[in-house]
Copies of this chain bind each other. A is one copy, B any other.
């Protein structure tokens, strides 16, 4: 028996005094969304749609974009479903609260249901009615546990049918999908599918991901990023203070963020480490693994000359995938190890680990051979043995901070054996996804939910909600509704053309990166660690209502 097949039993979590205090927090509502009844949308031009995706979206591509307009419409009772998709991000419960409060405000007879444990809950039509009483214990709280989350996708024709069945069965006016790039691409396909069937259910997307890589002209920031970065920066600041007190260790701190280094950049701006690796820069500069290791060794050597045998280094978890040589190596290995190939057969017949490795070395191109040889033996072997169901090398399994530590140590031992280099790996990960949301995320999510409710009330489907001017006080935030299709494009993923929302990378020409690039020269040798400390929910608003520094710099 799995929990996914049982009806949701809400755990009886015991609330801490702070959690109870946070239940009382009233999120601010931006001026433009104060009076929902007075707002409608009017149609505008066609969305700017990538030609490659038009064939997949014959309905949505020709639906007009909308702009805000005045209204005096009464709203009939609404029935809306909400689903949380993918990894947790602080504020999910506030999207639901904002949605619920707005639906009741629009018509007190409206109802909200949650699909349980992610999109799988839509397919299986597993739901929970979200009542005022139930919500009372989840306002401004972390986690996604009110309705759970999951990574199942609505992909096959049967799953689309099941989703249609679920929204029909529940007579839904709207389906709110809270997720990252993949889930919102999914939302677009669902909206298209429902349209084509004449189904009344409006699909609305809400941008969520701590990684921060769901950004574009319309979306300044996905929710959860702020709280995650504040939680990580607290830890990094504490460790940096410990570092400079004991003067003993290098801390290699790995941060979440596989496809982009937004978290690392924001945490660097907040905590001012000696070095922060930014994947996008490594890619742009075509830095190989050996170049990065050399950069690290140089840091250690230069600091050692000043008497500092300690330091703080930030590493985004996906760093190795930005290195051109490692990327080429992975491609070659995937080809070489493809099921049934002569090399794969040969390797399967080779039992001794060293023989396997030597065989691979003999077969690699001159370009990638050295990079493979640089890897520690256990990782060399891991890449050959540990493969995903499609037979691909699982580069994401490499602990990047430990790899860089080990290679830096080896290089220093060879070149400068007298230098003291003691090192500790740290991982800032799961603790940042379900923290109590910062005021910023609590407010942002509440307004996102509110705007999503309005779209459903006005029967607009296939839109993503977001806000502009997020770096300003909540009052002046600008609600935005953007056609999902306008965010879609076609990319090659795993060798296949796929409709996707492009992941937003760190903009090396943006102001946030420029600010970092200018300051880091000082941070490298002069310790200017900054300890932001734990998130504060009381006290002066300069403490409680801060927004991400990279947001202020890039969009402020």
- A residues sitting closer than 8 Å to B (CB atoms) are 1-3, 5-6, 11-19, 21-22, 87-88, 117, 141-145, 148-149, 231, 234-235, 237-239, 241-242, 244-247, 251, 272, 305, 307-309, 424, 426-427, 430-436, 526-540, 542-543, 546
Contacts and interface: CB of A to CB of B under 8 A. Distances in A.
A435 B531 CA distance: 8
Contacts of A309: 2-3
Contact of A238 (B12, B117, B431, B527): B431
| Copies of this protein chain in the complex | 2
A307 B126 CA distance: 16
A493 B131 CA distance: 62
B21 A540 contact: yes
13 contacts: A11-B528, A11-B529, A13-B528, A16-B533, A18-B533, A19-B530, A231-B238, A235-B235, A238-B430, A238-B431, A238-B433, A534-B536, A538-B539
Contacts of A235: 235, 431
Given A12-B526, A430-B242, A534-B436, A21 B142 contact: no
A22 B532 CA distance: 11
Given A242-B143, A436-B534, A17 B247 contact: no
Contact of A535 (B87, B430, B434, B534): B534
Contact of A539 (B145, B149, B531, B539): B539
A255 to B, nearest CB: 14
Find the residue from A18, A239, A529 having the highest chain B CB count within 10 A. Answer: A18
A542 B245 contact: no
A536 B537 contact: yes
A546 B16 CA distance: 12
Contacts of A251: 430
Contact of A530 (B13, B435, B537): B13
A248 to B, nearest CB: 9
Given A6-B307, A534-B535, A542 B434 contact: no
Given A18-B543, A528-B11, A543-B21, A247 B148 contact: yes
A539 B532 CA distance: 18
A92 to B, nearest CB: 8
A234 B529 contact: no
A531 B16 contact: yes
Contacts of A6: 307
Contacts of A22: 533
Nearest to A3: B307
A430 to B, nearest CB: 5
Contact of A532 (B1, B16, B530, B535): B16
Contacts of A18: 532-534, 536, 543
A540 B234 CA distance: 22
B539 A143 contact: no
A241 B142 contact: yes
B434 A430 contact: no
B237 A16 contact: yes
Contact of A12 (B87, B149, B234, B528): B528
A228 to B, nearest CB: 10
Given A18-B543, A238-B435, A244 B143 contact: yes
Nearest to A526: B12
Given A3-B309, A16-B533, A534-B534, A143 B245 contact: yes
A531 B234 CA distance: 17
A532 B17 CA distance: 7
Contacts of A546: 17
Nearest to A1: B307
Contacts of A526: 11-12
A251 B427 CA distance: 14
Contact of A142 (B14, B231, B238, B305): B238
A266 to B, nearest CB: 14
A246 B87 contact: yes
A70 to B, nearest CB: 40
Contacts of A536: 18, 534, 536-538
A378 to B, nearest CB: 9
A235 to B, nearest CB: 5
Given A234-B534, A539-B539, A149 B16 contact: no
A16 B527 CA distance: 14
A405 B324 CA distance: 35
A6 B533 CA distance: 30
A238 B434 contact: yes
B538 A242 contact: no
Contacts of A532: 16, 18
B144 A245 contact: yes
A131 B535 CA distance: 31
Given A142-B238, A234-B431, A235-B431, 15 more contacts: A13-B244, A14-B272, A16-B530, A16-B531, A141-B241, A141-B531, A143-B241, A149-B245, A239-B430, A239-B431, A534-B535, A534-B536, A538-B538, A538-B539, A539-B539
Q: Tell me which of A13, A88, A142, A537 has the highest count of chain B C-beta atoms within 10 A of its own C-beta.
A: A13
